[in-house]
Amino acid sequence: MNKASRLFWPALVTPKNAVVKQTEQLSRSQKLLTELGLVKSGSNGTYQIMPIAQRSVDKFIDLVDGNMKRAGGQKISLPILTPTGLWKKTGRLEGDISEFYMVRDRSGKQFLMSPTHEEAVTAMLATTAPISYRQMPLRLYQIGPKFRDELKSRFGLMRAKEFLMKDMYTFDVSEETARGTYSVVSEAYDRLFKQLEVPFVKVNAATGMMGGSLSHEYHYVSPVGEDTLLQCSSCGYAGNAEVLDSKVEASTDCPSCHSSHLSQVRGVEVAHTFLLGEKYSKPLGATFLNTSGKPQSLVMGCYGIGITRVLASALEVLSTEQELRWPKLLAPYDVCLIGPKQGSKEQQPAEVIENELLQHIGKICGDQELLHDDRKELTIGKRLLDAKRLGHPLTIVVGATAVQQEAPKLELHVSGGEKMELEINDALKLVAEYSRQKKSLLKGNALQDADERISQSVGHQL
């Protein structure tokens, strides 16, 4: 079980009447994550993720893994260092590489600290024993650190110099089957972002330096977004403004239906899909043996999701200025339980209920989803304020009302909602319902019998 007293949780403490000089524009998520001790700045553009936030990162990685494997993905790991010679072969070394980190080893050989791995994974296949058409399609993905020397690293994890990314690279025998793969992976992306329950916009996008014939971006709409998105209320078209040749004006006609019903919003790009064709496979010699036994260039796609950027951007969209709000599937803990203050007159009888609640809640949602705020030297009010700012979906307080002789009540706070005073069984039923909703998001509407048994178990009286 997770105990608040044991957490490494270096929250910032600002003395009263202190004058805080703001040296940079902070996003809402950056401010809260930093103040609450969930993320610390390592250096300009790099961040240290503390244990509470790391739980959310790990949950998102698990969610991404599940969706990628469901789409036929196989997980791999590629070296962070990519020889620059590979990028020279594909022509990308001659492009704008001002944002990329270069390093040399002691022999003078130059490497990129990879911002992306198209060349590396394609070269890997090019040096593999002949691949048969029977092995296609190949859908290989990894989750790991990427690097960009951002000119304006800002808004914390939303635009950092080092970040976590999921990148998938797919290989097919033809343009037709590659488009089929594009549809399969895009459906997985759609499903993933719907599971997060954060409003998102999927837009047509420019292929840029990645190249290829087809591209889409996934955005969270936010004032701190750096992309201008166009949405048409007539036909439903959505696109990044950069896909239009002319300068974007409010009166620009829709490129799909030619109406003037376009609106502009700001977006944070959190994922990107590309159909690349033979842009990388041809220059790097990545082939497969076709039905005639002859080598033929692989047809490629690539698909990225910013792991840490999604986390920060989701919080940016959902949170208030004072309190974090998490997507259900990414909240560090489902339930925070706060017991009586040390030395209070209700401490002894309340702790009996507190300990029994710990057992019952642990059975309902799992011990790892329960945070016990056992810092009893602090008042209930101080611990409750921390719980609210951290955005725990459900916070249960075992205070004086829990030990009153007639109709004992627990105080229950839903993130973003009103305080409720509930009888013990009703509070447990609410925990079970929340747990059921989470599992429904993960599995679909068909819940397993085990989940139903968990919901039924809350009928036991304490």
- Give me the percent of the chain exceeding a pLDDT of 90: 72
One domain, residues 239 and 362: no
Residue 78 · residue 140 · CB < 8 Å: no
6 part of a folded domain: no
One domain, residues 370 and 274: no
Number of domains in the chain: 2
Q: What is the pLDDT of residues 21-58, one digit of tens each?
A: 665 668 899 999 999 999 999 888 899 999 999 999 99
pLDDT of residue 435: 96
Give the chain's mean pLDDT. Answer: 89
In this prediction, residues 289-301 reach a mean pLDDT of 96
One domain, residues 131 and 278: yes
One domain, residues 302 and 337: no
One domain, residues 264 and 129: yes
One domain, residues 154 and 200: yes
Distance between CA atoms of residues 125 and 285, nearest Å: 9
Specify the higher pLDDT residue, 137 or 241. 137
Q: What pLDDT band is residue 19 in, cutting at 50, 70 and 90?
A: low
Domain ranges, residue 342: 333-459
- pTM of the prediction? 0.90
Question: For residue 299, what are the CA distances in angstroms to 211, 216, 304, 328?
Answer: 13, 18, 17, 37
Q: Which residues pair with 39 in a beta bridge?
A: 49
One domain, residues 100 and 179: yes
One domain, residues 344 and 276: no
One domain, residues 378 and 287: no
Specify the higher pLDDT residue, 155 or 133. 133
DSSP state of 16: T
372 part of a folded domain: yes
pLDDT of residue 114: 92
Distance between CA atoms of residues 351 and 426, nearest Å: 19
Give the residue from 348, 414, 402 showing the smallest Cα distance to 376.
348
**Residue indicated by tokens 């002894």:** 348
268 part of a folded domain: yes
434 part of a folded domain: yes
In this prediction, residues 204-210 reach a mean pLDDT of 69
Question: For residue 287, what are the CA distances in angstroms to 87, 101, 257?
Answer: 18, 30, 40
Q: Which residues pair with 218 in a beta bridge?
A: 202, 271
- CATH number where 207 lies: 3.30.930.10
Q: What is the pLDDT of residues 402-446, one digit of tens each?
A: 998 788 899 999 999 989 999 999 999 999 999 999 999 998 543
Tell me which of 264, 294, 318 is where a domain ends: 318
Question: For residue 347, what are the CA distances in angstroms to 5, 354, 357, 420, 461?
Answer: 18, 10, 15, 21, 21
Distance between CA atoms of residues 79 and 145, nearest Å: 10
DSSP characters for 149-164? Answer: --TT-BTGGGB-SEEE
pLDDT of residue 459: 41
